[in-house]
Amino acid sequence: MFNRFLLILVFVPLAIILIALAVANRDPVAFTLDPFNPGNPVLTMTLPLFIFLFLALAIGMIVGSLATWVKQGRYRKLARQRRVEAENLRQAVSRAPVAPQGPVLPKPTN
Residues 23-74: pLDDT tens digits? 888 889 888 888 888 778 888 889 998 888 889 989 999 999 999 999 999 9
Residue 54's CB is within 10 A of a number of other CB atoms, namely 14
Asked if residue 99 has pLDDT above 70, the reply is no
Residue 31 lies in a domain: yes
Total count of domains within the chain = 1
Residue 33 lies in a domain: yes
Burial code (b: 16+ CB inside 10 Å, e: under 16) for 7-40 equals eeeeeeeeeeeeeeeeeeeeeeeeeeeeeeeeee
Q: How far apart are CA 23 and CA 14, in angstroms?
A: 14
The residue segments making up the domain with residue 81 are 16-94
